[in-house]
């Protein structure tokens, strides 16, 4: 399995493209060029369908592609609703087109007595933002489920979910299609010396695991309780679960390009099937 640009495919097609790989806050500086400064947004293509994981600032660039490709039915799966994962949402232009249909899912709010529609609505309410949620004429469904539920997004595409260890909750996703599986596991914090069985079940035998690798091992001890992990823990979990490839994701804002290069070199030395994600990188699983 290699990293290359998407060039179309048939019903077996399965690709993952990264539009935002940064955590916490978008970064625009000369030090955030090679890996990118936009926050979490990942496009997934399966068969004839395409959907989105998270709505960080990277979703703005993706919206242009969806409009050019005339994607009419849009599925947005949210890991959680901290700002860096939803603050690009008001700038997702296809959502304002009444000729499209948009379905939004979240698995971390129902147990708190909240709803994704209300949370997104709060973000798009004066005086925080001047355009209300109901201006998004494409939205036809906002669905809250319980993290841990499994469901079929559309025929041939199975979703499995698990709760993650993050302040205010978060959901990890496993997307299965045509005998392949990709997992999206951000934002989550590990407990040193213990194995997160929820994550282990989710990523078992997966072809690709996108994992929250915000901190280095040295940094992690200073950030216990912040809800993030390390690539070292991601690699350990992948080995335990028999997963094939680790994608290091959710880069710390302070990790500029030179630091990311060092992390990439260390991770590659530990396992050649480990990559550091960059904006516009595409991974094909077919």
**Residue 5 confidence (pLDDT):** 35
Token pair 């499994």 is at which residue?
A: 150
Q: Does 4 score more than 80 pLDDT?
A: no
**Residue 153 confidence (pLDDT):** 87
**Residue 90 confidence (pLDDT):** 97
DSSP string, 123-141: HTSTTT-SS-GGG-TTEEE
pLDDT class for 1, splitting at 50, 70, 90? very low
Spatial distance between the Cα atoms of 94 and 40, rounded to a whole number of angstroms: 18
Q: Are 258 and 28 in contact (CB under 8 A)?
A: no
pLDDT class for 286, splitting at 50, 70, 90? confident
Please tell me the CATH code under which domain 14-145+157-284 is placed.
Answer: 3.60.15.10
Helix (H) or strand (E) holding 238: helix 231-241
Percentage of the chain lying above the pLDDT 70 cut: 97
pLDDT tens digits for 162-200? 999 999 999 999 999 999 999 999 999 999 999 999 999
Q: Are 251 and 23 in contact (CB under 8 A)?
A: yes
Q: What is the pTM of this model?
A: 0.95
**Residue 220 confidence (pLDDT):** 97
pLDDT class for 212, splitting at 50, 70, 90? very high
**Residue 3 confidence (pLDDT):** 36
pLDDT tens digits for 213-261? 999 999 999 999 999 999 999 999 999 999 999 999 999 999 999 999 9
* Residue ranges per structural domain of the chain: 14-145+157-284
pLDDT tens digits for 59-108? 999 999 999 999 999 999 999 999 999 999 999 999 999 999 999 999 99
Residue of 184, 121, 194, 117 lying closest to 147 (CA atoms): 184
pLDDT class for 10, splitting at 50, 70, 90? low
Phi/psi class of residue 24: alpha, beta or left (left: φ > 0; alpha: ψ in -120 to 50)?
Answer: left
């Amino acid at each position: 399995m290699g990293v290359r640009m998407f060039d179309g495919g048939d019903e077996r097609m399965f690709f993952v493209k990264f539009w935002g790989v940064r955590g916490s806050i978008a970064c625009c500086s000369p030090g955030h060029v090679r890996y990118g400064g936009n926050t979490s947004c990942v496009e997934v293509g399966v068969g004839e369908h395409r959907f989105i994981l998270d709505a960080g600032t990277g979703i703005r660039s993706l919206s242009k592609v969806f409009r050019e490709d005339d994607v009419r039915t849009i599925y947005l799966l949210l890991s959680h609703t901290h700002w860096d994962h939803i603050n690009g949402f008001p700038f997702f232009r296809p959502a304002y087109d009444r000729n499209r249909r948009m379905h939004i899912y979240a698995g971390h709010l129902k147990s708190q007595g909240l709803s994704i529609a209300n949370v997104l609505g709060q973000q798009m309410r004066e005086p925080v933002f001047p355009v209300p949620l109901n201006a998004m004429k494409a939205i036809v469904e906002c669905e809250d489920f319980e993290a841990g539920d499994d469901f079929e997004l559309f025929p041939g595409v199975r979703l499995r979910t698990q709760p993650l260890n993050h302040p205010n909750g978060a959901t990890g996703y496993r997307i299965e299609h045509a005998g392949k599986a990709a997992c999206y596991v951000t934002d989550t914090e590990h407990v040193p010396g213990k194995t997160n069985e929820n994550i282990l079940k989710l990523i078992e035998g997966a072809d690709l695991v996108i994992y929250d690798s915000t901190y280095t091992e040295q940094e992690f001890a200073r950030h216990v309780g912040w809800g993030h992990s390390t690539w070292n823990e991601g690699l350990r979990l992948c080995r335990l679960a028999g997963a094939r490839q680790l994608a290091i994701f959710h880069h710390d804002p302070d990790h500029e390009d030179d630091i990311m290069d060092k992390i990439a070199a260390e991770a590659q030395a530990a396992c050649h099937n480990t990559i550091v994600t960059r904006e516009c990188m595409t991974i094909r699983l077919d």
